[in-house]
Amino acid sequence: MDYGINIWGENNFFIDNDRLRINYANQPALIDIIKDLEDQGIKGPLLLRFPHLIRKQINSLYSNFKQAIKEFDYKGEFKAVFPLKVNQFPTFVKPLIKIAKNFNYGLEAGSKAELILAMTYNNKNAPITINGFKDKDMIRLAFIAGFMGYNVTITIEGLNELNSIIEVSREYDKFPVFIGIRIRLHTSGVGVWAKSGGYESKFGLNSTEIIEAIEILKKENILDKLKMIHFHIGSQINDIGPLKKAIREAGNIYADLRKLGAKNLSAINIGGGLAIEYSQWENKRDRNYSIREFSNDVVYLLKEIAIKKNVPMPDIFTESGRFIASPSTILIAPVIELFSQEYNAKALRLKEKNPDLIEELFDLYNLINETNYIEYFHDALDHFESLLTLFDLGMIDLIDRSNAEILVNLIIKKAIIFATYKGFKNKELKAINEKTQEKYLANFSIFQSLPDFWGLKQRFPIMPITKLNMSPNRSATIWDITCDSDGEIPFNKETPLYLHEVDLSKESYYLAFFLVGAYQEILGMKHNLFSYTNEAIITFDENGDYKIEFLERTQKIRDILIDLDYEIDEIENLLKENLQNTKLDEEEKKELLGELFLLLNDMVYLKD
């Protein structure tokens, strides 16, 4: 069982005997990094960020487009910006900016706060593009960025924004930004994130509005500022077909605008949407193209249109975010309980004299083997039914019922192990295994760390990071620690996840969730007051050894309450008062208060 690592892993990780290793530098095992962090007192869920994987993705984007440009003798340039909405956290953005310098890779901002980040951190000659709805202050910020020397393009989402730009420009004696127009294409992407494109989309100008915009720009004598047209047909475009249609549509609009006099219009911004392969199952692949095919198609189609319409080949801009950010981040959640472990032989409370059916179950449990397991499994289920009926009739007691539950579960477990050796030839056992999944309780919150699973059922690759030389035989449902039944990744026969039988009193077991670097943290919710996880940036030194370059602990209980605008002094005083008003003696009150205040300063996640 390789958990589909060859489908989604992009050669970034590999299984070496029992453990998962990072395929970079000295190839550390993930478990060793985790143990190292645990030695520094880190407990609970952990986000690991790997800047070398950001670099790999940026490099892949640029080198594929460069290759396509060379291959098709394309005359325009390739340029790209990172859309900050995908991940605004400093632990991601700061390493990205360092890597971006060599590529002249810029930033895209969709709000005033993101624009401030772009104006603060962007590399000087790298482009800044500005999308989203804008008020005059946002346009003023864009002008200030232009005055700082940044190469800024404000993309208008509607005609009123163009009018605002014109009004703001009158406040200054120079016009230090370029203008882009977001076009409302006919084409939209496919899948859960497809709504950003198409005629019903929230964004962009239709053909009539585009012509009107050109007329306004001409009238104001600033048509030379129009540099770019922009579209975005949705995130995670799984099918290349709609993208090709969108490129043809946008290419023709570009050519016609040039003919209408937009002589400085020199770039087509194809937005984001470049998909990531999230699937762990060969027959459920998400994406039907590679980055090579994507870049070839964009370059080839734009060249074809430019030649046909006799206009210069435009520069190609992309704003791909998911593709750049997803692979760099792994979420690690320690498993803290396996629910079937309640069914342990040690928990049996056999009596001097047990009901006959219990005695028989006990024999089945002791004598089950690889030849009789199907028959014994059937017998056990049959006996269990009878014992439950006897309980309803008041003929056996709660202790007998508990013994029956334990024995039947132990028999099923043994039968599943024998069936695994034989490749699950027995359909009934396979079905039972699928039905009686093991519940793995993991120390994390789906709402905080995988909101797209909660909201859109987006699957992320999941695998354990140890025991990989052993066959996982438990069909697994993952429970998070929130008090919400939505905090669950249920076993699904179509996309099955099997995990190992583990004795957590003897060993640790961690689940890793991959490709979580895009959108997840910022969309994450503090449901049940579970907040950001622990976070570490892992880099590699010149000898190839890994380094924990940065480590931030998850929030304390008191801090998350402060975030919600509670006055912590008020909470502390009221807690103190609640203890003071009891009949406990002074010494006990003092001790409990000390303990309470320590716990208030503890982390929000579970500790053990």
Contact between 122 and ligand PLP by CB under 6 A: the answer reads: no
Q: In this chain, which stretch among 118-126, 321-329, 393-401, 564-572 interacts with ligand PLP, using CB under 6 A?
A: 321-329
The one-letter code for the residue type at 44 is G
Asked if 196 is part of the footprint of ligand PLP (rule: CB under 6 A), the reply reads yes
Closest separation in Å from C-beta 190 to ligand PLP: 13
Q: What angle do CA 399, 438, 375 make, to 5 degrees?
A: 70
Nearer to ligand PLP, 26 or 290 (CB): 290
- Judged by beta carbon, residue 480 or residue 521, the one nearer ligand PLP is 521
Q: Any residues with CB less than 8 A from the CB of 184 and at least 6 apart, and which? A: 199, 201, 203, 204, 205, 206, 209
Residue that the structure tokens 């905090």 belong to: 487
Using CA atoms, how far apart are residues 553 and 255, in angstroms rounded to an integer? Answer: 53
For ligand PLP, the binding residues in 486-545 under the rule CB under 6 A are: 518
- Rule CB under 6 A: say whether 83 interacts with ligand PLP: yes
Nearer to ligand PLP (CB atom), residue 24 or residue 92? 92
User: Do residues 227 and 268 lie in contact, with contact meaning Cβ atoms separated by under 8 Å?
Assistant: no
Q: Check residue 321 for interaction with ligand PLP (CB under 6 A).
A: yes
Residue closer to ligand PLP, measured from CB, 314 or 334: 314
Q: How many of the other CB atoms lie within 10 Å of CB of 113?
A: 12
Task: Check residue 329 for interaction with ligand PLP (CB under 6 A).
Answer: no
Kind of pairing between the strands at 462-464 and 510-513: antiparallel
Residue nearest ligand PLP by beta-carbon distance: 272
127 or 271: CB nearest ligand PLP: 271
Decide if residue 273 touches ligand PLP (CB under 6 A). Answer: yes
> Among 320-328, 373-381, 439-447, 595-603, which window interacts with ligand PLP (CB under 6 A)?
320-328
Our finding on whether 131 is near ligand PLP (CB under 6 A) is yes
178-182 vs 226-230, strand pairing mode: parallel
Smallest distance from ligand PLP to CB 344, Å? 47
| Secondary structure tally for the chain: helices H, strands E | 21, 20
The answer for residues whose C-beta is within 8 angstroms of residue 295's C-beta and 6 or more apart is 64, 65, 67, 68
If one asks whether residue 86 binds ligand PLP (CB under 6 A), the answer comes out as yes
Minimum distance, C-beta of residue 271 to ligand PLP, in the bound complex (Å): 4
Smallest distance, Å, CB 323 to ligand PLP? Answer: 6
**DSSP code at position 372:** T
Instruction: Check the CA dihedral 434-31-479-322 and report its sign.
Output: negative
Q: What is the set of active-site residues?
A: 483
User: What is the pattern of x (binds ligand PLP, CB under 6 A) and - over residues 551-570?
Assistant: --------------------
**Binding range to ligand PLP, per CB under 6 A, among 230-238, 332-340, 343-351, 360-368:** 230-238
Which of 330, 285, 324, 322 has its CA nearest to residue 463? 330
Nearest approach in angstroms of CB 320 to ligand PLP is 4
- Other beta carbons within 10 angstroms of residue 427's beta carbon come to 8
Nearer to ligand PLP, 140 or 195 (CB): 195
At what angle are helices 356-367 and 398-421 packed, to 10 degrees?
20
| Least distance between ligand PLP and beta carbon 200 (Å) | 15
CB 592, min distance to ligand PLP, A:
50
Nearer to ligand PLP, 109 or 512 (CB): 109
Q: Which of 56, 303, 322, 383 binds ligand PLP (CB under 6 A)?
A: 322
Rg of the chain over Cα atoms, rounded to whole angstroms, equals 30
Nearest-angstrom CA–CA distance, 282 and 8: 10
Q: What's the Cα-to-Cα distance from 33 to each of 50, 527, 542, rounded to whole Å?
A: 12, 29, 18
In 3-state terms the chain splits into helix, strand, coil percentages (rounded to 5) of 45, 15, 40
- Which of residues 191 and 461 has its CB atom nearest to ligand PLP in the complex? 191
Phi/psi for 160 (5° steps) reads -60, -30
The residue among 110 and 355 lying less far from ligand PLP, judged by its C-beta, is 110
Minimum CB separation of residue 89 from ligand PLP in Å reads 15
Do the Cβ atoms of 261 and 223 come closer than 8 Å? yes
- Between residue 232 and residue 251, which ones bind ligand PLP under the rule CB under 6 A? 232, 235-236
Interface residue with ligand PLP among 223, 233, 270, 274 (CB under 6 A) is 274
What is the maximal distance between C-alpha atoms in the chain?
100
**Which residue in the set 146, 158, 271, 461 belongs to the binding site for ligand PLP (CB under 6 A)?**
271
The count of residues interacting with ligand PLP (CB under 6 A) is 17
Do 559 and 50 form a contact (C-beta atoms < 8 A)? no
For residue 523, give the amino acid letter: L
Contact 465, 31 (CB under 8 A): yes
Identify residues 13-52 at the interface with ligand PLP (CB under 6 A): none
Q: How near is the Cβ of 112 to ligand PLP at its closest, in Å?
A: 16
CA atoms of 415 and 426, how far apart (whole Å): 10
Contact between 473 and ligand PLP (CB under 6 A)? no
Query: Rule CB under 6 A: which residues touch ligand PLP?
Result: 83, 86, 131, 196, 232, 235-236, 271-274, 319-323, 518
